[in-house]
Structure 1
Amino acid sequence: MKKLQTFLFIGLLVLVLSGCSKDIKSVSSEAAEAINVSEYFPPIGMTKTYFQYGADGEKLESIETVNLSVNSDGPDTVYTHNTGGLVTDTMKEYIVSEESLRNIYVVNVTRKEEVDVVELANKPEWDKNDPDKSVSYMTATDLTMEVPAGKYDNVIEVTTVIPDDIKGRKTMHYYAPEVGLIKTVFVFEDGDEFTFSELKSAGMMDE
C-alpha cells in the first residue's frame, strides 16, 4: 500500500509518468506508421466516464467531455474538460492529426500554461517533450481489451518511462478507436501492476 501511495502521489502531483527504458520492445516502424492517430481521439461531443482507483481502495468517478475550440488566428483545436476523480476540474487543449496527438495547453488548480506534450504518435518511440524528459513507446497494436464500458478491438498499448529512473517503473496507456484512452496501468519496480483508471461508459452528448 505504501508503494502505491508514493507512486500515486508523485504521478498526480507533478503529472508525470515514471519508468526505465530497458527491456521495452516497441512495435515495428511499419506497424506504427500504419496507425492513424486521429482515429484514437474521441469525437467532438463525446462524454466519457472513468473509474479511478485510489491508494486506499476507494473508487471514484471522473467525467470527460470533448469540445471544439474555434480559433480566429490559427487552426481550430479540440479540448477536454475533466471533472471529479482524484484530479478535479482540468482542461486540456489538443492538436489532433493523423501523425500525433499533442497537448498544447493545460488549466487546473495548480497550473495554467502552454505546453507541447506528445501524448500519442504513429512512431515506435518518441519523446513526450514533458519536463521529465519522458519517452513513450508503442508496445502493441491490434489488442482486444475489455473494460467496464465494454470490449474494444484494435487497441493500442503505449508504455511511458523516464530513462533516468533506475527503479524501472512505467505507465501503460491503452487507446481504442473512436473512443481514445480506455485504461491506465501503473507498473512498479517489482513488476506488480495497479489499474489506476478504466473507462466506465462513453457516448455522445445528444444520445
Structure 2
Amino acid sequence: MKNVKLFMLIGLLAVLLSGCTSGPKAIDSKDAEAIDVSIYFPPVGTARTYAQYDPDGKTLEATDVVNRSENSDGPDTVYIHERGGIAYESIKEYAVSSEEIKQIYIANAAKNEESAVVELANKPEWEKNDGDDSVSYITQKDLEIPVAAGTYKNVLEVTTIITDDVKGRKTIHYYAPEVGLIKTIFVYEDGEEFTFSELTSVEMRENE
C-alpha cells in the first residue's frame, strides 16, 4: 500500500512540475496546420512604417520595404530592407512557404551571415532557432487588432519565450494577412505589458 501511495505522489508531482515548465497555451494542432502562413508575409513592394517605443518614452521611426531577390541557381527569394529604429539598418532574406516563414540571411552593422530563424510556422509551437533557445507558439488566431495604421482582422498572435528564462518574460507578435507584423509587445515577469512597436502606415511601391 505504501508503494502505491508513493507512486501516486510521484505521479502527481510530475504533473505539477510539467505544468510549471510548460509554455503558453497554443491553439489546436489541426487549427495550426490548416493555416497558410505565407499570407502573413507582406507582398513584394510593401513599404511599412513602425513607431518603436522605449520605456523612457522616446519614440523612434523604423521603415522597411519588401523586395525580390533574383537567384540564378534556384528559386527567387524575398528580402526586407529595414532602416531606422533601434537596429538602424539591416537586410533580412526569407524563404516563404505555406508551412513556414524562415529568415535565411541577415546583414547589418554587427553581422553578415546565413541564419535559420523560423519566424512563423503552421504548428502549435516550434523552436525559433534564434540562438536564445526560444520557442514560439501560435496562441490565438482570427483576432481583430487595432494599431495606428488601422484595424486588422484575421490576425495571428504568436507568443515567444526563452525556455531557460526563470522570470517568465515573453514577447508577443501580431501578424495580419498581406501585411505581416503589425505589433510587438513585451510582457515582464510581473505581467506588465509594454508595446515595443506598432505599424503606423503601409503602402505598395515598386520593387527597389
Q: Normalising to structure 2: TM-score of the pair?
A: 0.88
For 1:200 and 1:40, the matched residues in 2 are separated by 17
For 2:77 and 2:23, the matched residues in 1 are separated by 36
Where 2:88 maps in the other structure, the secondary structure is: coil
1:71 aligns with 2:71: yes
1:96 aligns with 2:58: no
For 1:153 and 1:34, the matched residues in 2 are separated by 17
For 2:44 and 2:185, the matched residues in 1 are separated by 26
Deviations 1:112-169 (A, max 9, x none): 1100110000000001112112100000000000000000000000000111110000
Listed as ranges, the gaps of 5+ residues in structure 2 are: 1-19
CA shift for structure 1 position 86: 1.2
For 2:21 and 2:90, the matched residues in 1 are separated by 29
For 1:24 and 1:175, the matched residues in 2 are separated by 18
TM-aligned CA distance change 1:21 to 1:35, over 3 Å: farther
For 1:153 and 1:189, the matched residues in 2 are separated by 29
For 1:198 and 1:191, the matched residues in 2 are separated by 20
Give the number of the structure whose alpha-carbon radius of gyration is greater: 2
Residue in 1 aligned with 2:161? Answer: 161
For 2:176 and 2:35, the matched residues in 1 are separated by 12
Where 1:26 maps in the other structure, the secondary structure is: coil
TM-aligned CA distance change 1:80 to 1:47, over 3 Å: same
TM-aligned CA distance change 1:85 to 1:119, over 3 Å: same
Counterpart residue identity of residue 137, structure 1: Y
For 2:21 and 2:201, the matched residues in 1 are separated by 33
RMSD (Å), alpha carbons: 1.2
1:1-150 maps to which residues of 2 (within 5 A)?
A: 22=22, 24-150=24-150
Where 1:39 maps in the other structure, the secondary structure is: helix
For 1:168 and 1:141, the matched residues in 2 are separated by 23
1:188 aligns with 2:188: yes
**Contact 2:143 2:154 (8 Å CA) reproduced:** yes
**Contact 1:21 1:161 (8 Å CA) reproduced:** no
Number of aligned positions between the proteins: 187
Where 1:89 maps in the other structure, the secondary structure is: strand
Percent identity, please. Answer: 60
For 1:74 and 1:189, the matched residues in 2 are separated by 45
**Contact 2:23 2:161 (8 Å CA) reproduced:** no
CA shift for structure 1 position 22: 3.3
Listed as ranges, the gaps of 5+ residues in structure 1 are: 1-19
CA shift for structure 1 position 54: 1.7
Q: Spell out structure 1 runs of 4+ moving beyond 6 A.
A: none
